[in-house]
Amino acid sequence: MQVELLRASHCVGESNVHIGLTPKYRKAIFADDKTRILTRDYIVEASRRHGFVVVAIGFDTDHCHVFVTHWKNFSIAKLANL
């Protein structure tokens, strides 16, 4: 998938961020398919609601990776807390 450049009034560019989400004590909460599906759906819904683009979501048993682009209205810390 090719990401298009974001165009604003005075700039053109691309910004991407990789966010790793890890539960406390690295418990294997993502081993359950239902938890993975609910987490994925929540992240996708948050992206629609707040206007950023999720390019990829990946899971292992004890963590989740989210690759986000076009998140210009948020700091990385705020984006991770959504």
pLDDT in tens, 10-67: 777 778 899 999 999 999 999 999 999 999 999 999 999 998 899 999 999 999 999 9
Class of domain 16-81: alpha beta
The pTM (predicted TM-score) of the whole model is 0.79
Residue 2 has pLDDT above 70, yes or no: no
Buried residues in 17-42 as b, exposed as e (16+ CB within 10 A): eebeeeeeeeeebbeeeeebeebbee
Q: How far is residue 35's CA from residue 59's CA, in Å, rounded to a whole number? A: 10
Better pLDDT: 75 or 38: 38
Are 21 and 63 within 8 A, CB to CB? yes
Q: Where are the domains of the chain?
A: 16-81
